[in-house]
Protein backbone atom coordinates (compact mmCIF):
# COMPACT_ATOMS: atom_id res chain seq x y z
CA UNK A 1 0.00 0.00 0.00
CA UNK A 2 2.78 2.42 0.89
CA UNK A 3 4.61 1.59 -2.34
CA UNK A 4 1.49 2.31 -4.40
CA UNK A 5 1.04 5.63 -2.58
CA UNK A 6 4.67 6.55 -3.30
CA UNK A 7 4.23 5.60 -6.95
CA UNK A 8 1.11 7.80 -7.22
CA UNK A 9 2.94 10.64 -5.48
CA UNK A 10 5.93 10.30 -7.83
CA UNK A 11 3.61 10.25 -10.85
CA UNK A 12 1.88 13.38 -9.58
CA UNK A 13 5.25 15.08 -9.06
CA UNK A 14 6.37 14.13 -12.56
CA UNK A 15 3.09 15.42 -14.03
CA UNK A 16 3.36 18.69 -12.10
CA UNK A 17 6.99 19.08 -13.17
CA UNK A 18 6.10 18.47 -16.81
CA UNK A 19 3.14 20.85 -16.57
CA UNK A 20 5.30 23.57 -14.98
CA UNK A 21 8.11 23.18 -17.51
CA UNK A 22 5.64 23.27 -20.41
CA UNK A 23 3.35 26.09 -19.30
CA UNK A 24 5.38 28.21 -16.86
CA UNK A 25 5.47 31.22 -19.20
CA UNK A 26 1.68 31.18 -19.50
CA UNK A 27 1.17 30.59 -15.77
CA UNK A 28 3.48 33.47 -14.83
CA UNK A 29 1.84 35.69 -17.46
CA UNK A 30 -1.64 34.85 -16.21
CA UNK A 31 -0.54 35.48 -12.61
CA UNK A 32 0.96 38.81 -13.69
CA UNK A 33 -2.26 39.84 -15.44
CA UNK A 34 -4.30 38.79 -12.43
CA UNK A 35 -2.07 40.85 -10.12
CA UNK A 36 -2.23 43.82 -12.50
CA UNK A 37 -6.03 43.86 -12.64
CA UNK A 38 -6.40 43.28 -8.91
CA UNK A 39 -3.96 46.13 -8.18
CA UNK A 40 -5.85 48.34 -10.63
CA UNK A 41 -9.14 47.58 -8.87
CA UNK A 42 -7.51 48.25 -5.49
CA UNK A 43 -6.09 51.54 -6.77
CA UNK A 44 -9.47 52.61 -8.14
CA UNK A 45 -11.14 51.75 -4.82
CA UNK A 46 -8.50 53.69 -2.90
CA UNK A 47 -8.92 56.75 -5.13
CA UNK A 48 -12.70 56.64 -4.89
CA UNK A 49 -12.65 56.34 -1.10
CA UNK A 50 -10.11 59.16 -0.90
CA UNK A 51 -12.34 61.34 -3.06
CA UNK A 52 -15.37 60.49 -0.93
CA UNK A 53 -13.44 61.42 2.21
CA UNK A 54 -12.43 64.73 0.60
CA UNK A 55 -16.05 65.43 -0.34
CA UNK A 56 -17.25 64.67 3.20
CA UNK A 57 -14.56 66.93 4.68
CA UNK A 58 -15.44 69.68 2.20
CA UNK A 59 -19.14 69.35 3.04
CA UNK A 60 -18.40 69.68 6.76
CA UNK A 61 -16.14 72.68 6.17
CA UNK A 62 -18.77 74.25 3.89
CA UNK A 63 -21.44 73.85 6.58
CA UNK A 64 -19.12 75.41 9.16
CA UNK A 65 -18.27 78.34 6.88
CA UNK A 66 -21.97 78.78 6.08
CA UNK A 67 -22.77 79.09 9.79
CA UNK A 68 -19.94 81.59 10.23
CA UNK A 69 -21.17 83.57 7.23
CA UNK A 70 -24.72 83.63 8.60
CA UNK A 71 -23.42 84.86 11.96
CA UNK A 72 -21.36 87.56 10.24
CA UNK A 73 -24.40 88.63 8.17
CA UNK A 74 -26.52 88.84 11.32
CA UNK A 75 -23.85 90.94 13.05
CA UNK A 76 -23.60 93.19 10.00
CA UNK A 77 -27.38 93.60 9.89
CA UNK A 78 -27.43 94.49 13.58
CA UNK A 79 -24.62 97.01 13.06
CA UNK A 80 -26.43 98.50 10.08
CA UNK A 81 -29.66 98.79 12.08
CA UNK A 82 -27.76 100.51 14.91
CA UNK A 83 -26.15 102.89 12.44
CA UNK A 84 -29.53 103.69 10.88
CA UNK A 85 -30.91 104.37 14.33
CA UNK A 86 -28.01 106.73 15.04
CA UNK A 87 -28.63 108.56 11.78
CA UNK A 88 -32.36 108.93 12.39
CA UNK A 89 -33.39 112.56 12.72
CA UNK A 90 -33.62 113.72 16.29
CA UNK A 91 -36.34 116.04 17.38
CA UNK A 92 -35.02 119.54 17.34
CA UNK A 93 -34.94 121.62 20.46
CA UNK A 94 -37.59 124.25 20.45
CA UNK A 95 -37.19 127.89 21.32
CA UNK A 96 -38.74 127.31 24.71
CA UNK A 97 -36.27 124.75 25.87
CA UNK A 98 -35.54 126.64 29.02
CA UNK A 99 -39.16 126.92 30.16
CA UNK A 100 -40.63 124.41 32.54
CA UNK A 101 -43.47 122.35 31.09
CA UNK A 102 -46.53 121.57 33.19
At 74, is the pLDDT very low, low, confident or very high (cuts 50, 70, 90)? very high
Q: What is the DSSP letter of 94?
A: -
Please choose, from the candidates 70, 46, 47, 66, the residue with its C-alpha nearest in 3D space to the C-alpha of residue 58: 66
C-alpha–C-alpha distance, residues 29 and 48, integer Å: 28
What is the pLDDT at residue 48? 97
Q: Higher model confidence: residue 88 or residue 30? A: 30
Q: How much is the pLDDT for 102?
A: 65
Q: Given this model, what pLDDT does residue 100 score?
A: 79
82 pLDDT above the threshold of 80: yes
- pTM of this prediction? 0.52
Cα(102)–Cα(94) distance, integer angstroms: 16
Amino acid sequence: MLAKLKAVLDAAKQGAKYFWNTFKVYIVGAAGLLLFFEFRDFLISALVSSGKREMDDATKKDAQLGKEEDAAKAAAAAAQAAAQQELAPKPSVGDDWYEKKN
